[in-house]
Copies of this chain bind each other. A is one copy, B any other.
Amino acid sequence: MRNKPARKLQELLRLPPGERVDLSRYDARATPGAPDGKQAAQAAADRMGKQLARLQERLWAAATAGDHRRVLLVLQGMDTSGKGGTVKHVIGQLNPSGCRITAFKAPTEEEREHDFLWRVRRALPGPGEIGIFDRSHYEDVLIARVRHLARPAEIGSRYGLINDFERSLAEDGVALVKCFLHLSYDEQRRRLLRRLDRPDKHWKFAPGDIDERALWPAYQEAYELALERCAAPYAPWYLVPADRRWYRDWAISRLLLERLRDLDPRYPEADFDVADCRERLLKQT
């Protein structure tokens, strides 16, 4: 049984910065680097959950002693690609008090009065936290491009602004993990149909989802541009095949785990006299 991928998953899934991306070349049902089969992957993901929680505690503890580092997981993908499921199953294994989760919706009136990065800056994780973006500033070069929500020149300028922004984050100690959940057109139909079949899933559905789906090719193109123009060594994009839920959860757990291990946060040394404190405590009646 092959429990550990030979190479780092980061290397397997990372899109090379600056290279053209052709999404049609990637199989959304693929399982690169995964343990053999669904059950083994789920068991591995459970084990990783515990490891992630331990590393998260260290990251948090280090922050109490001035370590400014934090993690930011960016989740992007078409409707039903599993952004919410990732939060539930992967992030759900962490200590919720150290997670800062933001689901970005259509911008509010207040948000539209500011530049497109304003609301993102306000949602960043603090030192020691793990931030999770369910959608993100990338929507401003995705739906904004497909739906012509801004002038082409303005949208064109956003790629550079995003790169500058993400570089400044990286320099400020933010470890970026950007995941594109790559779903196939057919699997999206199956998932939307399932939402229609189950009355307890109707709340997740809106007829507008069908209109968005009709724009699939335009969305894929917008994604290809974003993935190509905004991948950088300090802010890589990972293409996560997402037709199989168990693979998606395993892969994102693994990517987070590898990143946290790279950071290698440490419990801080006591900045007080431990023996003296013990004595004082024992003296208190």
A259-285 Cβ-contact flags toward B at 8 Å (1 or 0)? 000000001111010100110111010
Complex copy number for this chain:
2
Q: Contact partner of A95 among B92, B189, B280, CB < 8 A? A: B92
- In whole angstroms, what is the CA distance A65 to B281 when docked? 54
- In whole angstroms, what is the CA distance A204 to B274 when docked? 12
**Interface status of A91 (Cβ within 8 A of chain B):** yes
Q: Are A192 and B281 in contact (CB under 8 A)?
A: yes
Tell me whether A202 and B270 are in contact in the complex, defined as CB-CB below 8 angstroms, given that A210-B284, A284-B189 are known contacts.
yes
Q: Contact partner of A91 among B96, B199, B204, CB < 8 A? A: B96
**Interface status of A214 (Cβ within 8 A of chain B):** yes
Q: Contact partner of A97 among B84, B95, B277, B281, CB < 8 A? A: B84
**Interface status of A169 (Cβ within 8 A of chain B):** no
**Interface status of A40 (Cβ within 8 A of chain B):** no
Q: A210: which B residues are within 8 A, CB to CB?
A: 277, 280-281, 284
- In whole angstroms, what is the CA distance A95 to B134 when docked? 14
Q: Are A281 and B202 in contact (CB under 8 A)?
A: no
Q: Are A88 and B84 in contact (CB under 8 A)?
A: no
Chain B proximity of A121: nearest CB distance (Å)? 17
Q: A84: which B residues are within 8 A, CB to CB?
A: 97
**Interface status of A103 (Cβ within 8 A of chain B):** yes
Most buried by B among A95, A203, A269, A274: A203
**Interface status of A207 (Cβ within 8 A of chain B):** yes
Interface residues of A in 175-225 (CB under 8 A from B): 189, 192-193, 196, 199-200, 202-207, 210, 213-214
Q: What are some 26 contacts across the A-B interface (CB < 8 A)?
A: A61-B204, A65-B203, A87-B95, A88-B95, A92-B94, A92-B95, A92-B96, A94-B96, A96-B96, A96-B99, A96-B101, A97-B101, A97-B103, A189-B284, A199-B269, A199-B270, A202-B267, A203-B267, A205-B270, A206-B272, A207-B272, A207-B280, A210-B281, A213-B281, A213-B284, A214-B284
